[in-house]
Amino acid sequence: MSNTGRRALRITERVRAADGERPVPLRLLAGRASAEAEYRIAASRRGVVELGPLRSGRSDPLGLAAARRDHGEADRLWVHPRWEYLRTIPIGRVADPDGAADGSPAGTLTFHTLRDYVRGDDLRHVHWRSSARLDKLVVREYIDTSRTRVCVIVDDRPTPGGEERLDEVAGAAASILATGVRSSLHCELRLAGGGARESTGGLPPLLDLLAEARTSPGADLHAALTLARTRPAGDTAILVSGALDGADLRSFARLADRYAGLVAVVVGAEERPAAPADVTLLTAGDAAGFADRWNEAPWSR
């Protein structure tokens, strides 16, 4: 920071997170001086933190008049949900804890769609003509029609537990996705309230979307499940929610003709709903309890 004026400046930075917004006061910057400042942020929960812009200000000794000015733009910091690797991911109706999938794709690649470039993408897949037209880099996305596909659907509808329960739901979903990506499975994440990403960019973009998730009063789980039917058929669909009822599970069970295996996870709810025969139901009190229940589940051939 540099102060080109003769009078000292008071510098603050705006920090906005899930629990509100507050200014962080930095050191007083003397006239005609330059300095560096740093501060520590303790991210206590999942979310997106906005840092900045910097605000400089002067006031008269009596505080009767003041002038303030913002400098720069806001930066964003994604705080991912807590997650851990699970023992296995059930693949269709065949879920072997010792490895139902070896992560070795076979078959041919088929063009699927164009998407925004993500750092780490192969530059050979950049579609230059569309990039020039859209004024941003886009890449061709291919799918291996023979590769194991796992779809994770996160229910972000409001629940009695509010944002705290959604934190636990996001943590459970993150553990599933991290395990799937490590196993070289093709993973897709979909939010009931809107928003979807695939694992072609690796795990971080999936965790970014979970960090951004907020309870959405307009979320329509049944519409999201119907939309999932329009996606390429896969091996396993996993629904993660803070509260499900019988109607939700029956709607989820209709994906049985698109996915060989259906798993519903309920995190935080006290009541255990009745699940249709095609759906494997797992309940837990929180994300840590979910990992224990998942790892203890008798995934078998």
The verdict on 69 and 111 lying in the same domain is no
The pLDDT tens digits of the residues spanning 10-68 come to 788 888 887 778 888 877 777 777 777 777 887 788 999 988 888 777 666 666 667 77
Among 85, 86, 88, 84, residue whose Cα is nearest residue 300: 88
The pLDDT tens digits of the residues spanning 155-175 come to 999 999 999 999 999 999 999
The verdict on 205 and 261 lying in the same domain is yes
The verdict on 114 and 49 lying in the same domain is no
What is the predicted pLDDT for the residue at 39?
Answer: 77
The verdict on 54 and 66 lying in the same domain is yes
> Two tokens at 205?
């973009």
Provide the CATH number for the domain around residue 296.
Answer: 3.40.50
pLDDT averaged over every residue in the chain: 85
The verdict on 74 and 49 lying in the same domain is yes
The pLDDT tens digits of the residues spanning 67-113 come to 777 877 888 999 999 999 999 998 865 433 333 343 334 344 556 67
* Structural domain count, the chain: 3
195: left (phi over 0), alpha (psi -120 to 50) or beta: left
Distance from C-alpha of 259 to C-alpha of 244, rounded to nearest angstrom: 20
Is 2 among the domain residues? no
The verdict on 162 and 141 lying in the same domain is no
What is the predicted pLDDT for the residue at 106?
Answer: 39
> Domain containing 205: what range?
82-105+147-301
The verdict on 91 and 136 lying in the same domain is no
Q: Is the pTM of this model over 0.85?
A: no
Residues 6+ apart with CB under 8 A from 243: 155, 157, 159, 160, 266, 268, 269
